[in-house]
Structure 1
């Protein structure tokens, strides 16, 4: 699989080993209710694309003008020949983390017809997800329960998702509105990572688009 890097640029900040050199000196600031990233520091990471194993990556993933496009069709295979999970085309971010708040941020557009599909996850190395954002019938949910936004399909919106394994705090914002604040507990030392794209579907085709992807901690 190809490995890609997104460079999260901040003016006048030097990058060392994939993280901003000023990380250690940055003093925490109170979290703004309308700015999910306040008090956090932007960082860089790489990703690889998980896609139907019998197709080339380019058949389900493309980058056009800074927009990341990912789709699956009904009947697509899983990401490996032995998997028992459903079809997916997802950007799996490389960093694993087990403490401190980490936040994924992006502008997102979900194509009409995309339903029964997860578009973003905070996954563990193993079974379970701290965050599992999916669309169903035009609305956006976390897992199969909490409604995050209605009539969200077919238009660009801004999505932020954060998890802190140290405090177990889960937070999701839609268009800078806090849509969910809850807790998810795993044993200390459990490692988490970000994913975004399309996973599973109940229609004929699921497709999402992402731009301005940023990572923060």
Structure 2
């Protein structure tokens, strides 16, 4: 029995995936009867970002990172100023990802915790930074609603439901974008909950945090990952 354990441990060390900044290939098989995770066939790669926050405040007044738990906490008030002086967009505290793309398949992932009372804030979006004139600024936005849900913005009647009972609970969110065929898939706790088309060709990047708000909004993110195909 001891020899079996030693052999198994050696195999894990030699062939098991690593995270913490190294590339990871999700290519294992699910147990009998279990659904394959959405990350099967994807490769985890490093990502980088900077924080957009009210221009007149110190970063620590709207953002905190706990290295021990890998948790990013962001909050914002509806009375806050925009992220740039003279800008007219809504208040925000967001991670603006540097990883930009116009082709290929890209997936954003995180565990998400939304504080009760947060309303009207976008917690994740795909922003179109270089796009044809007259086309929308985002491919998708996921927004907190007062009925304790996260829903897609700009969809009828009240937004396609992504997740219920989001307040004060950790849950996993994945947003996968195939920029080649224009398909976006959203997963809540590894369940496919939405498939939509993007808004056409563009160069874009991921964002997450709190953007736009009624009163005060706060959201935590941990285990952030960037996957590609």
TM-score range with shorter-chain normalisation?
A: 0.7 to 0.9
TM-score in terms of structure 1 length: 0.83
Contact 2:105 2:178 in 1 (8 A): yes
SS in 2 for 1:58: helix
Structure 1 segment 34-113 matched on structure 2, within 5 A: 34-64=36-66, 65=68, 66-113=70-117
> Which 4+ stretches in 1 moved above 4 angstroms?
12-15, 26-30
- 1:27 to 1:205, Cα distance in 2 relative to 1, 3 A: closer
Q: 1:159 aligns with which of 168, 173, 191?
A: 173
Question: Which structure is higher in helix share?
Answer: 2
> What is residue 130 of structure 1 aligned with on the other side?
139
- Equivalent residue for 1:11? 18
Q: Sort the Cα spacing of 1:167 and 1:59 in 2 relative to 1 into closer, same or farther, 3 A.
A: same
1: CA distance, partners of 2:35 / 2:194:
13
State the shift of 1:192 in Å.
1.2
1:142 matched residue in structure 2: 152
Superposed CA offset, 1:74-115 (max 9, x none): 200010012111000000010100111100111000000100
Structure 1: runs of 5 or more not aligned: 1-9
Rg (Cα) greater in structure: 2
**Aligned residue for 1:205?**
216
Residue pair 1:165, 1:185 contacting (<8 A) in 2 also: no
Query: C-alpha distance in 2, partners of 1:12/1:212?
Result: 10
1:184 to 178, 195, 198: 198
> Aligned pair in 2 of structure 1 residues 154, 101: CA closer, same or farther (>3 Å)?
same
Secondary structure at the aligned position of 1:78 is classed as coil
Structure 1 residues 77 and 34: CA distance shift in structure 2, 3 A: farther
**8 Å Cα contact 2:121-2:210 kept in structure 1:** yes
CA distance in 2, matches of 1:79, 1:13: 30
How much is the aligned-residue C-alpha RMSD, in angstroms? Answer: 2.5
Residue aligned with 1:45, SS: coil
Q: TM-score, normalised by structure 2?
A: 0.79
Q: How many angstroms does 1:185 deviate by? A: 3.4
Change (3 A) 1:12 1:48: closer
1:53-78 Cα deviation digits (max 9, x unpaired): 00011110111232100000120001
Unaligned runs of 5+ in 2: 1-16, 131-135
